[in-house]
Amino acid sequence: MKRTTIRDIASETGMSITTVSLVLNNRPSKISEATKKKVVEAAKRLNYSPNKLAVGLITKKTQTLGLIVSDISNIFFSILAKGVEQACQREGWSVVLCNSWDLHERDMKLIEVLTGRGVDGIIYCMSSDSDQDKALESYALLQKNNMPFIEIDSDYAGTARHNVFFDNERGGYLAARHLIENGHRRIACITGPNGPDYVSGRIEGYRKALAEAGIPYEPDLLVEGDYTMESGIRAAEQLIGRDFTAVFAFNDMMAFGAFKTFRDRGIRVPDDISLVGYDDVPLCDLLEVSLTTVRQPIYEMGMTAAKNMIRYIETGSDEDTNVCFEPQLMERSSVKNLNAQPGN
């Protein structure tokens, strides 16, 4: 039950290996239509499909992308992965999935592993325990391995030539401004681990909106989460007792967690506390109060990242492909307009 090789179909048709390879790869050559047809038919009959390992060994190309995410069971990453996989499948590429568990050392390990496996490029979602040094370290490794990569929504070095990101400052700004427009002045944040720039970007945007409205920035109103619902719950608990009328969570899951905490404590959303999330995952209208959030086109981003990566690898194109996706405020029901209610 051996797989049929190019040699089998050569002997089957009486042609040489070269001829077979040429026609099967559609190479420009002057092979008669007749023999072409014969070869193709034999290939089909024998159910031939090339051994990608052998091909890869020669061409140094495997048509495979590595995907490093911190947690595939996080809906943000699973949607992203779906986009990446879809783009790859369309182009005949494959994706090998790696979970870093948000550990920088795993990032490093995985980069090595993927290099050893001969992937042609990596879609890299840096683990969020990375500080500047660690980030630089992983870039260095990538470069040392001569590995093309696209980083998702982050660019420490500020020099990446192939990136795909969201305008996080804009996103943070939109969320905060929306709250401010609705009369809120004391706005708490549930952030992510400090490190990656999408966190600082959003904080920037938030501060900018505050500044525009002449509202002082209070570090005390920021609590750090880790994007899990659990952490949203805990963050909200920490927040309780401090003086604020609204919460801006850096993803929807943490917003859900905060919502739950508030509900359990008899604090009503949005009557007592307004809430804004981030991402717009497909669960936002599930709660009794649908969640106002900042939408990011995650799936599209995944597709674009993979498409650009592939195009870059295949064409060796020299042009930069930095693409930025604009966030969009999705107004739903979790923000109360304080202006409409004199007295508070």
Partner DNA sequence: CTGTTAGCGCATTCAC
Partner DNA sequence: GTGAATGCGCTAACAG
For residue 81, the partner it binds in a second copy, DNA, none, with Cβ less than 5 to 8 A by kind, is: a second copy
Map the footprint of DNA across residues 53-82, applying CB under 7 A. 54-55, 57-59
Least spacing, CB of residue 219 vs a second copy, in Å: 30
Binding mask 30-49 for DNA (x = CB under 7 A): xxx--x------------x-
Least spacing, CB of residue 60 vs a second copy, in Å: 9
Task: Candidates 26, 32, 33, 73: give the one binding a second copy (CB under 8 A).
Answer: 73
Residue closer to a second copy, measured from CB, 61 or 185:
61
Residue range at the interface with DNA (CB under 7 A); choices 21-29, 65-73, 125-133, 321-329: 21-29
Map the footprint of a second copy across residues 97-156, applying CB under 8 A. 97-99, 112-118, 144-146
3-state secondary structure the chain: CCCCCHHHHHHHHCCCHHHHHHHHCCCCCCCCHHHHHHHHHHHHHCCCCCCHHHHHHHHCCCCEEEEEECCCCCHHHHHHHHHHHHHHHHHCCEEEEEECCCCHHHHHHHHHHHHHCCCCEEEECCCCCCCHHHHHHHHHHHHHCCCCEEEECCCCCCCCCEEEEECHHHHHHHHHHHHHHCCCCCEEEEECCCCCHHHHHHHHHHHHHHHHCCCCCCHHHEEECCCCHHHHHHHHHHHECECCCEEEECCHHHHHHHHHHHHHCCCCCCCCCEEEEEECCCCCCCCCCCCEEEECCHHHHHHHHHHHHHHHHHHCCCCCEEEEECCEEECCCCCCCCCCCCCC
Residue range at the interface with DNA (CB under 7 A); choices 11-19, 188-196, 204-212, 303-311: 11-19
Q: Which residues bind a second copy (CB under 8 A)?
A: 1, 3, 47, 49-54, 56-57, 62, 64, 67, 71-75, 77-79, 81-82, 85-86, 89, 94-99, 112-118, 144-146, 229, 256, 259-260, 263, 282-283, 285-288, 299
Interacting residues with DNA (CB under 7 A): 2-3, 5-7, 14-19, 21-22, 24-25, 27, 29-32, 35, 48, 50-51, 54-55, 57-59
